[in-house]
Amino acid sequence: MSAYRSLIMLLSFVPVILGSYMLIAATGPPTIDPQHLCHAAERAMPDLGGEPMQIFQACMRDEQEAREQLLTDWATYSSSDKALCMRTRDYLPSYVEWITCAEMARDLRRIRKEKPVSPP
């Protein structure tokens, strides 16, 4: 098989891959298990004076609330913000981190639109 033909075959999968991504992006945020993150917080916080079980429970509650908010607001986030912020392969992915990132990106865009910066 020629290199050109192999390239064409590979490129034929791009719409399938992108289509799958768009289907996932349209249905809601990626699913993660925040327990790993919260156990890491639980192990780190006693050094700062926190009770491990309370830290874990508070972390899990915060993550659940952030996931619910992401689900509620999912359609309001741009696809570029979703791609930038919702990364499941990052070290200890977090719904709290994702929603904070998406809100900051959205707010920054709004501020720039309202008050454009003129060049010096």
pLDDT digits (tens, 9 = 90+) for 17-58: 444 344 444 578 999 999 999 998 888 876 666 677 888 999
* Top-confidence residue, 81 or 25: 81
For the chain, the maximum distance between any two Cα atoms, rounded to a whole number of angstroms, is 65
Domain ranges across the chain: 3-114
* Residue 42 to residue 38: CA distance in whole angstroms: 6
pLDDT at 95: 95
**Which one has a higher pLDDT value, 26 or 87?**
87
Burial class (CB in 10 A: 0-12, 13-18, 19+), 60: middle
The reported pLDDT for the residue numbered 96 is 95
Q: Looking at residue 30, what DSSP letter applies? A: P
Neighbours of 50 (CB within 10 A): 15
- What three-state secondary structure class fits 43? helix
Q: Is the pLDDT of residue 8 over 80?
A: no
